[in-house]
Amino acid sequence: MTHYLSAERVAEIIQKRGIGACITGVASYINQDFLRWNSFDKCARVANHSDVGVIELMPIADDKSYAFKYVNGHPSNYRFNLPTVMAFGVLADVETGVPELVSELTLTTAIRTAAMSAVAARALARDNCKSMAIIGNGAQSDFQALAFHYLLGVDTFHLYDIDSAATDKLEANLARFGVTTKRFSSAKEAVKGVDIITTVTADKTNATIITPDMVEPGMHINGVGGDCPGKTEIHGDVLRMGPVFCEFEPQSRIEGDMQQMPADFPVTELWTVLAGKVAGRTSEAQVTIFDSVGFALEDYSALRFMRDVALEMGLGETLSLIPAMDNPKNLFGFIGEDVAQTVANGATAGPTSAATSVTSARSTPAFVV
């Protein structure tokens, strides 16, 4: 049987374990796996783009486990009361191909993205950072704030979003965690004097949210929202202000803010810094940039963490995803002996009526287990 973690069970894990512990745990797994970088068979994600969004598959494997994530990005989904990003994933055994875990990854991706940002910032930002500007206050912003609070000790957050209701939401959620929030009427005002800038906007456009005149010496820039072709947040001249770090260079060059730079523009994969092969920040006054697009290894780490915690806590369900057979060569036999009698009696099953089988794009999707 395949272990299954629904969105409700993952929410229960987070409630019982604590959001801080979950973000910290995923960050630890990410750090461990990035130190095993050369053990993984890696590739850029496979993306199908449309005028309104993108749907992607993100695979990765080592010699023990294979993982993939299905994920979308549709900025206009609020019109249908749907999240911009929705995801699920699979963790499978390489030796047999058996899918051992099927899990929601919408909540989990939010945690792993924030955890990845914090892992990078611990290696690249100045010590004792206390303030961060968050430009874009949507679904990911809460997790980003808490990751930097728990893993780096940031306790003051400057907030800006073109949608004031999004900032209202973020302020209300963060109020429970004893941090200070200050809202601003522009991105330029919000970033003044902070240690870290995080951009996490959703619009699928070549935007220019951070410009060189907004960047001060010593800042660390955590660019999260520029994550697919044609979607950027940071002006190219900002990328020239300091070293740029990324997850998987072949993917980041076509999806990250660095897509606007020439092919020979120098970038450094973060794993080399975590492994001590390359220096990260080299001075207090240096500007550092993490051009984050999200990489499959982070989902592999997050799936492993959720699986381990769920088993420890006795949470989750099982799915009869693979036929259980006495004779694995007799798949037809799994249907049952009565199938021949059914055909002999002339019984047929007609197609489901289109009126009852088609789900409106505007309805909330349901997954039946």
Instruction: Kindly list the catalytic residues.
Output: 227
DSSP 3-state assignment of 353?
Answer: coil
Q: Which residues contact 68 (CB under 8 A, 6 or more apart)?
A: 57, 58, 59, 60, 89, 90, 296, 299
CB 107 within 8 A of CB 89: no
DSSP 3-state assignment of 122?
Answer: helix
3 sits in which H/E element: strand 2-5
Residue 245's nearest CA partner among 225, 228, 222 is: 222
152: tokens are 């780096």
The Cβ-side half-sphere exposure at 301, using a 13 Å CA radius, reads 29
Q: Is 248 left (phi over 0), alpha (psi -120 to 50) or beta?
A: beta
CB 66 within 8 A of CB 36: no
356 sits in which H/E element: helix 354-357
